[in-house]
Amino acid sequence: MRKQGELALPGEELAVIEEFMPGDGTYEDEGKIRSAITGKIFYDMLNRKSNVIVVKKSPLINLRKAKYMIGVVDSITGENARVSVYAVEEKNVGDSISAILHVSQIANKRISSISSYLKPGDIIRAKPITSRIPISLTTKPNDCGVILAKCSICGTLMTREDEEHLRCPYCNNIETRKIGLYAVKKNGRKTSQKE
Ligand SMILES: [Zn+2]
């Protein structure tokens, strides 16, 4: 038996019919209960008649409603950046979700080359504009964009310099980004820490 709350994939065996009744999001197949959807497993042990197993739709299905996502830029090819989303709003997702950020969705102004505004390894906050995987993202809103980046020369975490520049506190290298709610202030402290 799998654990309560674990992620189930379609077709995956969850229990046998002697233990559980198939509930929402599941189906029976030759005495075995399998998941019909991608979602979270819920073993209902307190149902009056019998134990019921239900698979609830996971955040993966409700991506369209997410206000923002947090991900890391994996690579940049041509007009697209490939992003691995590891959190939807405040919730971590088990396996990262693949997403795409197109050059036209980076900022409200015209950008000719992605790599002058985004680099592999950058952590971004972005808004989903589609829900099918790979998800299309936008970083146009003010609170979206790069939230953490390392200096491409020496690897030190950079601090926010102005609207669209980050400075490396170690080698003074300055780089351009579409900046979101950036996580490190000039003094190197995390924004969330109390002064
Ligand atoms: Zn540096």
Tens digit of pLDDT for each residue in 53-66? 777 776 555 677 78
Minimum mean pLDDT among 17-21, 65-69, 73-77, 187-191: which range?
187-191
* Position with higher pLDDT, 173 vs 181: 173
User: What is the number of alpha carbons within 13 Å of residue 58 lying toward its C-beta?
Assistant: 24
Q: pTM here?
A: 0.67
> How far apart are the C-alpha atoms of 195 and 186, rounded to whole Å?
13
User: Can you list the domains of the chain with their CATH numbers?
Assistant: 7-53 (2.40.50.100), 63-141 (2.40.50.140)
* Position with higher pLDDT, 1 vs 88: 88
pLDDT confidence of residue 187: 60
pLDDT confidence of residue 168: 95
Asked whether the predicted pLDDT for residue 193 surpasses 60, the reply is no
Exposed e or buried b per residue across 82-112, where buried means at least 16 C-beta atoms within 10 angstroms of its C-beta: bbebbbbeeeebeeebebbbebebbbeeebe
> How far apart are the C-alpha atoms of 24 and 178, rounded to whole Å?
43
pLDDT confidence of residue 21: 85
CA of 96 to the centre of ligand 1 (A): 29
> How far apart are the C-alpha atoms of 187 and 62, rounded to whole Å?
38
- Say if residue 144 carries a ligand binding annotation: no
Asked whether the predicted pLDDT for residue 1 surpasses 80, the reply is no
Cβ neighbours of residue 8 closer than 8 Å, sequence gap 6 or more: 2, 14, 35, 37, 38, 39, 40, 41, 55
Range ranked top by mean pLDDT from 3-7, 86-90, 173-177: 173-177
Neighbour count for residue 65 (Cβ, 10 Å): 11
Mean pLDDT of the chain: 85
CA of 120 to the centre of ligand 1 (A): 16
Summarize pLDDT for 104-132 with one digit per residue, the tens: 999 999 998 999 899 999 999 999 998 77
Q: Across-strand partners of 55?
A: 41
CA of 150 to the centre of ligand 1 (A): 8
Q: End-to-end alpha-carbon separation of the chain, Å?
A: 48
pLDDT confidence of residue 4: 78
Sort 20 into a burial class: Cβ within 10 Å, 0-12 / 13-18 / 19+: buried
